[in-house]
Amino acid sequence: MRSEPYDVLESGAAGRLPEQMILFTHTGGEEGGEGEEASAEDMLIPFAFEEVLCRDVGAGKVPPVLHLWSHPGGVALGLRDSKLPRAAEAMQALEQQGIRTAVRHSGGAAVPLDAGVINVSLLLPKPAGKLDFHDDFRLLASVITEAVAAGHPQAAAQIRAEEVTGSYCPGDFDLAIGGRKFCGIAQRRQSNAYFVHAFVIVSGTGLARGECIRRFYQDAADGDASLDYPRVRPETIAALAELGGPSSAAEFTAGIRQALAGRGTRLLPAELLQQETGYSLQYSDPQVLEAARMLRERYAR
């Protein structure tokens, strides 16, 4: 059932976050993060990291988590994208341009990732009873909108949640200003925990990213118009910086912290968790590398 479009701020603060969350960062310039280079060689490492971390949240080894990350240059494909007739050749063409590729497991379609795209993930234990994924999408949409509102209230007031036709990775909970998409949201569930994830285009140009994905589909579909894949129109994509919002990753991530503080959530750095409990997880951890290998085998074309 398709969700009705709505103004995120006017809809009120959706859902509740835990009173305390652990902050993991991998955004290069973030204090305590491992840096962009940590994921440069393998597009699946950030996804594998969250797979392991989510499992540990479900097992009670670590409290709920906020993970902020970026990748220096890649395209994450959906499973259906990887099955297009010339997907392998289209992926190879991107690799030859220095753009890493991988098939992700959290649903959706192809999205470009680079230093100007901040990924925001909430990793939470499953509550008792039935989960409504719409509530989780609304929760993350609200947090992102509140992050924009921290420094740019006029832009935040214009954010709407609705599918943007012509965008890459279209979905009911696209976030857009003036009909131009800057964010998409997806979710993945495990037995005892789940994460809801968003990519947020903060800086750079939406047009260039949209053109990259349009060309990928053009090549991967080999001109077969009967195939089912997103018909990307690059002009439907924009960065927050182009829409009157935050203009840098640092400004946006500071807004995320402010949004959580405004909700009464205390963020604790991962380093403090390690000092107090001994729990540590890095991109280079053998568990993460093994999870990346398994994801590659499972979701490879």
- Do the beta carbons of residue 184 and residue 111 sit within 8 Å? yes
Residue 11 clears pLDDT 60, i.e. is over it: no
pLDDT in tens, 169-220: 998 889 999 999 999 998 888 889 999 999 999 999 999 999 999 999 999 9
State residue 135's pLDDT score: 86
For each of the domains in the chain, give its residue range(s) and CATH number, in order of start: 6-299 (3.30.930.10)
Residue 286 clears pLDDT 80, i.e. is over it: yes
pLDDT in tens, 96-137: 999 999 998 766 899 999 999 999 999 999 887 666 677 889
Choose among 292, 287, 284, 280: nearest CA to 62: 280
pTM of the predicted protein model: 0.92
Give catalytic status of residue 183 as yes or no.
no
State residue 35's pLDDT score: 45
State residue 172's pLDDT score: 85
State residue 128's pLDDT score: 76
Residue 32 clears pLDDT 70, i.e. is over it: no
State residue 38's pLDDT score: 44
What one-character-per-residue DSSP string does 150-192 give?
TT-HHHHTTEEES--TTSSS--TT-EEETTEEEEEEEEEE-SS
State residue 13's pLDDT score: 54
Average pLDDT over residues 54-79: 95
At 100, give phi and psi (nearest 5°).
Answer: -70, 155
Catalytic residue among 54, 169, 183, 212: 169
Task: Provide the mean pLDDT of the chain.
Answer: 89
Average pLDDT over residues 78-98: 93
State residue 211's pLDDT score: 97
Supply the Cα-derived Rg of the chain in whole angstroms.
18
5-19, 197-211, 283-297: lowest mean pLDDT where? 5-19
